Amino acid sequence: MSNRRAAALGEVRGLLFDNWPYKVITLCFAFLTWAWVQSDQVVEDRIRVRLEWTMPDGLAPVETPLDFATVTVTGVQALMRNMSPVDLVMAVDLSNAHEGDVTVDLSDRPVRGLPAELRVAAVAPGTLRVQLDRILKRRLKVAPVVKGEPLDGYAVREVIANPDHVDVTGPSSLVRPMTEVPTEDIDVAGIHEDGEFEVGLGLPKGGPMKALRSGPISVSVKVASTLRQRMFDAVPVIVRGDRWTATVSTVSVTVEGPEGPVAALRPEAVSVIVYPPDDLDGVEGTAVLAGADTPGLRYEVLGVGSPVRVTLVDPAGIHVVSTHPTGSASGGTP
């Protein structure tokens, strides 16, 4: 087995190193042949070329002109490989054009940055149509664009932009019909208090219309509560258990909340229940409106739930007395 392996290794060494000068010469010849073919081979490629526009004084395009054209270039592969499309520019000089429609022929325009050995075979698009219009400057009102809804129970009351007017320039046919210029969207979703927002104008980026102002627009958004208050008179007072009784049989209850839920409350469904604790000392006490972890003698208003809340109970404290003053005030379960 070892003899076979040695014989195989000997054959490999022979292939690699026997007559090595001739093998090196052959390899060099092959490389030079490949390089000659590469340098002399004519290829075709499509490249994006940036269009550099020059407009007439006092005129502007109604629509943003094309930024790039596609150029078909032919030439030797070596030059094509070393060419940088970033440096390629086609100048479109319309400085002598007049107002109205202008047809631009791109097919025979030189490409700046293209090596002289390369040839432009085709340009797409070959022609362009540009509509030129007189530049108009107008002072327009700033119109804030508010999106979203404030927190439930609140509404946007007032929106103020500062500055409230800006100067805008652009093609006359676009600027003349405008009475105001919008801002970028202002998101007021979930807010419940006045706020200040800084936004840009809502003119298309790179479009034919420009604002003669740098910096954002400051927008003040003022919100107001839309909560409704409602008062229920003669709300019955119920004391849990039979060992205590309230000195008042009814109270008035004032609630607050969104218009719909407040209007939907039924007076007959609203009541007050008092919860005397088992360990109430003495024969009387005053219950207070239950809150988070309210200890001791407490009461709550039934029939009122979120998003409506109780804002006032009159009287605020409900006095209760024992119905068994001679008995133990702390024994048994109410």
- Write out pLDDT tens, residues 100-118: 999 999 998 999 988 888 8
The per-residue pLDDT for 58 is 95
Helical spans, DSSP H, in 145-296:
172-175, 259-264
pLDDT < 50 positions in the chain: 327-334
Contact call for residues 220 and 194 (beta carbons, < 8 A):
yes
The per-residue pLDDT for 280 is 65
Contacts of 2 (CB under 8 A, 6+ apart): none
Radius of gyration of the chain from Cα atoms? Answer: 43
Among candidate residues 107, 73, 103, 104, the one with its CA nearest the CA of residue 88: 73
Contact call for residues 225 and 153 (beta carbons, < 8 A):
yes
Token digits for 26?
């052959």
The per-residue pLDDT for 296 is 81
Distance of alpha carbon 315 from alpha carbon 299, whole angstroms: 12
Distance of alpha carbon 60 from alpha carbon 208, whole angstroms: 7
The per-residue pLDDT for 144 is 97
The per-residue pLDDT for 78 is 73
